[in-house]
Amino acid sequence: MVADKNVLLGVSGGIAAYKAVALTSKLTQQGANVRVMMTPSSTEFVSPLTFQAISRNSVYVDTFDEKDPTKIAHIDVADWADIVIIAPATANIIGKIANGIADDMLSTTLLATRADVYIAPAMNVHMYAHPAVISNMKQLEGWGYYFIEPGDGYLACGYVGKGRLEEPEKIINVIRNHQSIDPFLKGKKVLISAGPTREQIDPVRFLTNRSSGKMGFALAEAAAKHGAEVTLVAGPTDMEVSKTSIKRVDIITAEEMYEAMHEHFSESDIVIKAAAVADYRPKFVHLEKMKKQGEDWHIEMERTKDILQTLGEVKTNQYVVGFAAETSTPLENGLQKLKKKNLDGIVINNVSTEGAGFGGDTNIVTYVNKNQWQEEIALTTKQEIAEKILTFIDRDMKDEAQ
């Protein structure tokens, strides 16, 4: 995936700049057309001549060194690049990009390019953990920059920890794998619900269920990876999303999830309700903690709104998928739910089966669409199941469009 690609390698001023020489060599050996751009401070560690000899191209350092009067160099190379790699990426260059500072050729070019940008940080372990650096990296990830995490080990400063520039082979492999991802959901807006809900009894007690949110979060991560604009409505869970591009809406109760799902529904192309929403809630919420009594305590319950059914009733062009977590006759119950709630697809699983229950990292499911086409997915990770579900949805939507 790098052969015949135009690769701009940006080298900033850290001792790990020597690894960028090996990276240049390996990229060139694999057929990439490599041009190197260095910050002035990086030339204190490695000579531009070294990169010129290996890449067989002139090296960019000075913004005002315009060798061809018919072109503006930093704009020309920004347009030329298919891929941009910043390795090593110091805290300084990361901060510049995140804050739109363009005071040398590399930072100026980064503002102008529309290529995929991969950032491979390298710095002291405490610098890497500094709140400012973390904030800048999150900002850049949210804008669509890709990070190649540094490794753990002995650092030039004498510390041992996270901050070593990843090895050239690993950097190339990460880029190759990312470049091979099919952005089949690009341009789609995907709405996903995940996790449990909580229904309050009194100030210290509530009713909930065993859902961890792992399946819904895996779907959100996979959809974002494949180019979708994702909104994730999440119940109370310890799960975190790794992609800051995912819009997360946190809720607690079934009513709050109902409101959030309906608020974002009309603008969505694909809706996946993976959340385990309470079917009932206490009819009366006590404002004070209920004390123990000498007799049984009966809680009167009332139905919550059926989120999935109401979405199925009002859908227009949305592709709506539900989940059916069952403990007996799962396929029969799932098919009834598919029809009753006017769904386009349903993911059915028996949560009493080993490896398929709540809270685990694996699942076993059957996907069925409204045309009764079904596909069983054997025991595997929830990430892999998320990938397959999205593939099925994309296939069905394309079939409908024909």
Of the options 3.40.50.1950, 1.10.520.10, 3.40.190.10, 3.20.20.70, the CATH number for the domain spanning 6-179: 3.40.50.1950
**Least confident window among 110-119, 157-166, 371-380:** 157-166
| Average pLDDT, integer, range 133-154 | 87
| For residue 69, cis peptide bond before it (omega within 30 degrees of 0) | no
The whole-number pLDDT of residue 151 equals 81
d(CA 183, CA 206): 41
pLDDT at 159 over 70: no
Q: pTM for the whole thing?
A: 0.74
The per-residue pLDDT of the chain, averaged, comes to: 93
The whole-number pLDDT of residue 181 equals 84
Rg (CA), the chain: 26
Residue 314, number of CB atoms within 10 A of its CB: 12
CA neighbor of 245 nearest in space, from 232, 234, 260: 232
CA neighbor of 271 nearest in space, from 146, 115, 393, 395: 393
The whole-number pLDDT of residue 6 equals 95
d(CA 121, CA 358): 37
What are the extents of the domains in the chain? 6-179, 189-287+296-401
End-to-end alpha carbon distance in the chain: 31
Amino acid at 215: M
Where does 300-354 have alpha helices with state H? 307-314, 330-340
CATH architecture of 189-287+296-401: 3-Layer(aba) Sandwich (3.40)
Do the domains 189-287+296-401 and 6-179 match in fold? yes
pLDDT at 209 over 70: yes
**Three-class DSSP category at 195:** coil
Residue 60 has what DSSP assignment? B
Residue 165 has what DSSP assignment? P
The whole-number pLDDT of residue 355 equals 83
Query: Any bridge partners for residue 380, and if so which?
Result: 363
* Structure confidence by residue, pLDDT tens digits, 223-242: 999 999 999 999 999 998 87
| Strand order, beta sheet including 374-381 | 247-250, 229-234, 189-194, 270-273, 319-326, 345-350, 362-369, 374-381
The whole-number pLDDT of residue 66 equals 82
Residues in the chain, total: 402
The whole-number pLDDT of residue 366 equals 95
Please give the biggest Cα pair distance in the chain. 92
The whole-number pLDDT of residue 379 equals 92
Confidence of residue 180 (pLDDT cuts 50, 70, 90): confident
The whole-number pLDDT of residue 161 equals 72
157 labelled catalytic = yes
The whole-number pLDDT of residue 136 equals 94
Confidence of residue 287 (pLDDT cuts 50, 70, 90): very high
8 Å CB contact between 319 and 396: yes
pLDDT at 178 over 70: yes
* Structure confidence by residue, pLDDT tens digits, 341-357: 999 999 999 888 888 87
Where does 46-153 have alpha helices with state H? 48-55, 73-80, 91-98, 105-112, 125-128, 131-142
Amino acid at 2: V
**Least confident window among 24-28, 237-241, 319-323:** 237-241
Q: What CA dihedral angle connects 73, 79, 84 and 90, to 10 degrees?
A: 40
Query: Which of 356 and 269 is assigned the larger pLDDT?
Result: 269
Catalytic residue (choose from 15, 125, 157, 241):
157
Amino acid at 27: L
